[in-house]
Amino acid sequence: MTIKFKNSYADLPPKFYSKTNPSPVSNPSLILANSSLAQELGIPENWIRSQQAIDTFSGNKILSGSNPIAMVYAGHQFGHFVPQLGDGRALLLGECIDKLGNHRDIQLKGSGKTNYSRSGDGRSPIGPVIREYLVSEAMHALNIPTTRALAAVSTGDTVYRDTSFPGGILTRVAKSHVRIGTFEYFASLNDFESVQTLSDYCINRLYPDCLNSTDKYLTFLKSVVEKQINLIAKWMSVGFIHGVMNTDNISISGETIDFGPCAFMEAFNPNQVFSAIDANGRYRYSKQPEILLWNLMRLAETLLPLIDKNQEKAIEKVTVILKDFWPLFETNWLAILLKKIGFSTMKDNDDLFINELLALIESTHSDFTLSFRYLSNLLLDNPTSLPVPLPLFESEAFKKWVPRWKKRLESEPASFTDIASHMNKINPLFIPRNHLVEAAIQEAIQENKVDLMKTLNALWKQPFLPNETYEHYSYPATNENEVTTTFCGT
Ligand code: AMP
Ligand code: MG
């Protein structure tokens, strides 16, 4: 057997999902399959390119042991509660146990209508499939928790949006697809027995340490808060903007999920928004922690009756945890940013180095990624010349910052050369720049080719390593190829 399916979510009561088979497609072909992920999941590497695999990834064949279901959830979309969403274009085929013994969901995205499709067609154009494949795999290589891409197929069918597009299906792998919105679905129905079933499911699968706690649901909330804080701090440390931080797009496992109109910032602007559907900038770069706290409050509300039968007491307990949000976020953020500038420990006033540097990158409109990357150059006796101009490095204020920074680095145990090489393992050279993702999508749509997608996928697997051949892919967009708006593309 190729994938040994478990179906622990399908073993929950039927109100948690709706049993649905994928709708067949006319002419599936493989775009890309992920050998290293297959290996991690214990799936034979030679199988993922076989005809049987292509039939499975396109929904034309259901492997034995798989029990496809669409999961139900609700969610706050742009602040407004929608009582029922659910997998409208996705199907959970089942779980497999990876080499570390963890349950990993295997899900098709774009596999046809489900009970939760509402007015949607349950399909996906090829663009969002390519975007999610490239960006989620790049996030993984950047050491940021994320859902993964196991395979992408084209369906041979046409998908209609504002115009027609070739259709595609992504096979996505997640530690779990339970979202804050899944909790909200049952809580809004006053079905707290199901909230408890769901909590127990998540604790057993994702947070087994909570089982040792006397207050296990409170500890569960605390664990999710910590995981999510760490995730968002990591996003922001590489300039990532998720774009649609609705509660249905916030995973309980702490993985980045649902890559819609997401993008990496180039010139540093805390107010940066890319998403075409985010007119008011609700999900702009700098607002992501505040929105996360808001989302975690929605999760906390659903858990109150489990935490204490006395509502006031429950609120008190939850408040203690949520009050810690900002100090915890600041600590996480600072710890990551200090490493980016070569500090191994935090000393008094170290935060000033970060805040001043960020203000300078912003005021000089310099590229966020390259500003951090080329800092290490300043520690070398023979620095390489900058491949692209960085206004930061010309700024008088920055020229005054550098000697102070170097003086502080002298108190570090490592040599400047070692610090520089360590910084280069943290500050990426290659990130999924929007114009490149877009170029790969356009090549697939217009020329029916995925060469650029494959090149970028290979390059972004090693985001910290210099690469002479593809050095130009480390450069920010020019006025000609800049992409300023991103779309969900659903
Ligand atoms: P998103 O914000 O892209 O994660 O999607 C929000 C909701 O809309 C989810 O419940 C999706 O399942 C649903 N949805 C998005 N696109 C489609 C589609 N093409 N057909 C059916 N449902 C969809
Ligand atoms: Mg979603």
Q: What is the DSSP secondary structure assignment for residue 62, as one 8-state letter?
A: -
Q: Is 248 a catalytic residue?
A: yes
Per-residue pLDDT averaged across 293-304, rounded?
Answer: 98
Cα separation, 51 vs 400, whole angstroms: 61
pLDDT at position 1 is: 63
- pLDDT of 22-44, one tens digit each? 999 999 999 999 999 999 999 99
Question: In this structure, how many other beta carbons lie within 10 angstroms of the beta carbon of residue 468?
Answer: 5
171: region left, alpha or beta (phi > 0 left; psi from -120 to 50 alpha): beta
CA 110 to ligand 1: nearest atom: 19
490 has pLDDT over 70? no
Q: At 174, is the pLDDT very low, low, confident or very high (cuts 50, 70, 90)?
A: very high
- The mean predicted confidence, pLDDT, of the chain is 97
> Do 168 and 124 form a contact (C-beta atoms < 8 A)?
yes
Give residue 397 CA to ligand 1 midpoint distance, Å: 47
pLDDT at position 489 is: 61
Per-residue pLDDT averaged across 142-165, rounded?
Answer: 97
Q: At 118, is the pLDDT very low, low, confident or very high (cuts 50, 70, 90)?
A: very high
Report residues whose beta carbon is within 6 angstroms of any ligand 1 atom: 85-89, 117, 120-123, 244, 249, 258, 260, 488, 490
What percentage of the chain reaches a pLDDT higher than 90?
94
Determine the 3-state secondary structure of 155 from DSSP. strand
430 has pLDDT over 80? yes
Per-residue pLDDT averaged across 162-182, rounded?
Answer: 97
Among 55, 98, 121, 248, the active-site one is: 248
Cα separation, 305 vs 303, whole angstroms: 6
Per-residue pLDDT averaged across 185-194, rounded?
Answer: 98
Give residue 90 CA to ligand 1 midpoint distance, Å: 8
User: Could you give the dihedral angle defined by the CA atoms of residues 262, 267, 269 and 274, in that order, rounded to the nearest 10 degrees?
Assistant: -30
Cα separation, 330 vs 341, whole angstroms: 16
pLDDT at position 115 is: 98
Q: At 407, is the pLDDT very low, low, confident or very high (cuts 50, 70, 90)?
A: very high
pLDDT at position 288 is: 98
47 has pLDDT over 90? yes
Question: In this structure, how many other beta carbons lie within 10 angstroms of the beta carbon of residue 390?
Answer: 19
pLDDT at position 265 is: 97
Give residue 84 CA to ligand 1 midpoint distance, Å: 11
CA 121 to ligand 1: nearest atom: 20
Per-residue pLDDT averaged across 238-254, rounded?
Answer: 98
Residue in 89, 119, 182 to alter for ligand 1 test, most ligand atoms within 8 A of Cβ: 89
Q: At 176, is the pLDDT very low, low, confident or very high (cuts 50, 70, 90)?
A: very high
Per-residue pLDDT averaged across 134-161, rounded?
Answer: 98
Mode of pairing for the β-strands spanning 148-160 and 263-264: unpaired
CA 246 to ligand 1: nearest atom: 2
CA 73 to ligand 1: nearest atom: 10
Cα separation, 82 vs 118, whole angstroms: 12
pLDDT at position 481 is: 86
Per-residue pLDDT averaged across 268-276, rounded?
Answer: 92
pLDDT at position 485 is: 83
Cα separation, 237 vs 240, whole angstroms: 8
> Do 75 and 85 form a contact (C-beta atoms < 8 A)?
yes
What's the residue count for the chain?
A: 490
pLDDT at position 488 is: 73
Residue predicted with more confidence, 372 or 384 = 372
Least confidently predicted of 209-218, 244-253, 383-392: 383-392
Ligand in nearest proximity to the CA of 262: 1
pLDDT at position 12 is: 98
Q: At 279, is the pLDDT very low, low, confident or very high (cuts 50, 70, 90)?
A: confident
pLDDT at position 382 is: 87
Which among 208, 176, 9, 22 is positioned nearest to 98, based on CA atoms? 176
274 has pLDDT over 90? no
Q: For residue 449, give the amino acid letter.
A: K
> Do 374 and 386 form a contact (C-beta atoms < 8 A)?
yes
Give residue 19 CA to ligand 2 midpoint distance, Å: 19
| Spans of all domains in the chain | 14-177, 181-333
Q: At 2, is the pLDDT very low, low, confident or very high (cuts 50, 70, 90)?
A: confident
Cα separation, 117 vs 113, whole angstroms: 6
